Each structure stands twice: as structure tokens, then as C-alpha cells.
Amino acid sequence: MSKEQNTKSEFPGEVHSLPGGDVVLSKLDELINWARANSLWPLTFATSCCGIEMMSTASAKYDFSRFGFEVARATPRQADVIIIAGTIVNKMAPVLKRLYDQMADPKYVIAMGACAISGGPFFYNTYSVVKGADHVIPVDVYVAGCPPRPEALLHSLITLQKKIKSGLTREQIRESKEAI
């Protein structure tokens, strides 16, 4: 199976027709990644304005359930991906770290909006804002915007899926120099 096919949303395997039925051949790793990528449950973690756009993305018009982000879970122990929707301030940073620690592996992080990326509009002249959530926990995908449109959030979720399906580490992605 070529690597190109690997990044597509198809089932990762080949079907061989044999007398008496079909046989599917696949690698177990790829099969697991495929299953993982299509069933990511987000944690309902919203600190501010981006949370409203996250709710919009969950609503009927955009509906991120179509891509496998089926139900938003309120407890970190049942969630696979944490979407940091909003500003992280100094008082909230330990809470975020704790939530991340409580999530079961494998776990993924999306930084949604300017505040979660870098502090955004609250970068200058504030005494209480963490200048980027990646000071606290590692981030997989960044979404720009203040707040990002629901389409942008959907794009980030699909990007995360591609990342999981490729089965590569962050360093390997950087070295391969190919956009996922």
C-alpha cells in the first residue's frame, strides 16, 4: 500500500477476492490509527469567546459529529482531544495541566484562537494572561482567528485526523517537509 493512500480517509487495507469470500490485508498499526482518527471525542473545555464558536461548530449547521467528533464529554477521562477554546490565564494554567494529565492516552490538543496560540489580543500590557497554551501543555494543531470561524475549526479537526492517520511523530512530520 502506497503512502499516498495512507493519508486519505479510506480504509487502510487491500481487499483480495478469493473463492468463498474476500480477505482484507492491513497493518495493525494503520488499522488502529484509522479507528482512532475517526472517533475523537472532544472535552468541553471553553474559557471564553471561542467556546461559542465551538458550540456553533457542534450545532446543526456545521456539525462536527460528521467527522467523528461525536459527543463532547464533560470529563477529561472520557475525552481524546482537548480543544483549548479561549484565553488561559495564570490562575487557569494549573487547571489546564491537570485536565490534560487526567486524560487517557492517546490524547491530542488543539489550540483554538489567537489567545490559545500566543495570548492574542491580550499579549501586551497584561499581567495575568499566559502567552500561549503551549507554555503549559504540548499542542498538536493551531487554529488562527479571533475567534476562528467554525470552518477553520473543522479544518483543524481534519488536520488532526490526518496527523493521526499518518502515524508520524511531530519530529518526523517536520523532517518530511510535506504538508499533511
Partner 1 sequence: MYRQTDIIEDNRDTAQGNFVINVGPQHPATHGVLHLVITLNGETIQKIEPHLGYIHRSIEKMCESLSYRQFIYVTSRMDYLSAHINNHACSLCVEKGLQVEIPPRAQVIRVLMDELTRIASHELWWGAMAMDLGAFTPFFHAFRERETINDIMEETCGARLTMNYMVPGGVMHDIHPNFQKRVKDFMQLYKKKINEYDELVTGNVIFQNRMKGVGVISAEDAVSYGCTGPVARGSGVSSDIRKIYPYEIYDKLEFDEVLETGGDSFARYMVRIREMQQSIRIVEQLIDNIPEGDFMTKTKAVLKLPKGEFYSRVETARGELGVYIVSEGATTPYRIKFRSPGFSNLSILDKMVRGGKIGDLIAAMGTLDLVIPDIDR
Nearer to partner 1, 85 or 157 (CB): 85
CB of 155 to partner 1, least distance (A): 16
Nearer to partner 1, 7 or 47 (CB): 47
Which has the closest alpha carbon to 42: 66, 78, 67? 78
Contacts of 166 (CB under 8 A, 6+ apart): 6, 7, 33, 173, 180
Question: In this chain, which of 12, 42, 86, 167 binds partner 1, going by CB under 8 A?
Answer: 86
Contacts of 123 (CB under 8 A, 6+ apart): 129, 131
Hey, what amino acid is at 90?
A: N
Which has the closest alpha carbon to 145: 155, 158, 134, 160? 155
Q: What mask, x for binding partner 1 by CB under 8 A, covers residues 104 to 143?
A: -----------------xx-xxxxxx--------------
At what angle are helices 50-58 and 150-166 packed, to 10 degrees? 80
CB of 132 to partner 1, least distance (A): 14
Question: In this chain, which of 6, 47, 140, 159 binds partner 1, going by CB under 8 A?
Answer: 47
Question: In this chain, which of 12, 42, 51, 132 binds partner 1, going by CB under 8 A?
Answer: 51
Q: Measure the CA–CA gap between 42 and 33, rounded to whole angstroms.
A: 17
Q: Order of strands across the sheet with 81-85?
A: 42-43, 81-85, 108-112, 141-143
Nearer to partner 1, 27 or 97 (CB): 97
Nearer to partner 1, 6 or 41 (CB): 41
Which spans of this chain sit near partner 1 (rule: CB under 8 A)? Answer: 44-49, 51-53, 55-56, 59-61, 74, 76, 86-87, 89, 91-92, 95, 99, 121-122, 124-129, 146-147, 149
